[in-house]
Amino acid sequence: MAEIRSPQHTDVLSPVARWGAALLLLATVALTDLVTSDRLHVLPVMAAVPVLAGALNGVAVTSVLAGAAMATTVLVQLVEGRWGTPGGDVTILTLAVVSMAGLLACSVRCRRERQLRRARSVADAARRAALRPLPRRMGSVNLAATYVPAVSDQREGHSEGGDFYEALHTPFGIRVLVGDIRGRGLSAVAASAALLGSFREAAYEERALADVCGRLEASAARQLHAPQEEPFSERYATAVLLELPHGEPVVRMIHCGHPEPLTLRGGTVRVHAPTPPGAPIGLAHLVGAEPVTQTIAFRPGDRLLLYTNGFVEARDRGGRYHDLGAHARDRSAQSLQDMVRGLRGDLLRHTGGRLTDDAALVVLERCGRPDAAQRG
């Protein structure tokens, strides 16, 4: 099954900690002012309590803490005999104004967070509908996949990208598509869903893999170049198409401007660069490029790694790129599912959990002769 997980948007502080931070500030200011009442007046600092509360809590909690700050300020002034003095009145007025401003800012923040959660929910639902779980096995091929959404643009609501993949058991063999739409947000999710729909139809109808690619190009001409905010020339998808014919220990592939697949054989990783390089889907008609089909050996025990940019362009704090090939070699002895889970974990550890681009990975493993009952 494909492993599809959205980034977890959990709060760094627990509810108790968010309350406690404001209450601790309130108590510290009040006690400090009482202890140093004749030498230092720090009670105006109480205005920071509703500001801190509004940054960490909702409107209701912020209102309660702002009221507590106001009541504590009045009580301290009564104890110190400064209630009704000009300085005391200014402190109360300042606290009231800052409290109202903090509540307004808190209300705006909470509203934007609700809108962002709704946008994430819609994008997540659309992505899950488009990226159907892959079966663990098709004929003589085992499959495993994972998808890691980027989390760097959560504030803007564009944490969902256009990475996509699919594997189908067709009359012509097992056909696989892995790709990446240029762009982010719901428009990228919609574009990837359109290309997946086109692939699911063409893969069963077209005998030649190049014709499947041609159908995708035609779909891109309709879907990616429709009127929208971005110029048409900046709307395209990189992809790699595979075909594993029944009963043959080979794999046919077409590169469409996508990162090169890797094969893992006997602990050795090999990169399969296209010859010649193919144009991305949606741009081929502009440069007059025709899809070129390559054939490589794919024997029992071999593994084939298909991935998007997020798995190789991710950087750590020192600016070093993630070395997918090295990690795959280190995990070559693991089962297919464990290997994919491990590669996902390696990526997250390398980036500290802060991906700047979506990352998708599909791994195929040849496990023997196809079952004749499963052909077609």
The pairing of strands 359-366 and 141-148 is antiparallel
Amino acid at 129: A
What does the pLDDT look like over 149-206, one tens digit per residue? 876 444 444 445 678 999 999 999 999 999 998 766 667 777 888 889 899 999 999 9
The helix or strand, by DSSP H or E, that contains position 291, with its residue range, turns out to be: none
Return the domain boundaries, the chain. 15-121, 133-374
Under 8 Å CB-to-CB from 287, ≥6 apart: which residues? 279
Amino acid in position 331: R
Please report the pLDDT score of residue 335 as a whole number: 94
CA dihedral defined by 18, 19, 24, 27, rounded to 10 degrees? 160
pLDDT at 358: 86
Q: What is the reported pLDDT for 324?
A: 95
- pLDDT (0 to 100) of residue 129: 59
Q: Report d(CA 347, CA 325) in Å as an integer.
A: 12
3-state secondary structure at position 191 = helix
Amino acid at 257: G
Please write the tens of the pLDDT for every residue from 307-319. 999 999 999 888 8
Residue whose C-alpha is closest to residue 195's, from 179, 210, 206? 179
What parts of the chain have a pLDDT lower than 50? 1-2, 4, 6-10, 152-159, 229-233, 370-376
pLDDT of residue 130: 62
pLDDT at 307: 95
- Closest by alpha carbon to 311, among 254, 264, 358, 267? 358
133-374: which CATH architecture? 4-Layer Sandwich (3.60)
DSSP 8-class letter at 207: S
What's 27-75 look like in SS3?
HHHHHHHHHCCCCCCCHHHHHHHHHHHHHHCCHHHHHHHHHHHHHHHHH
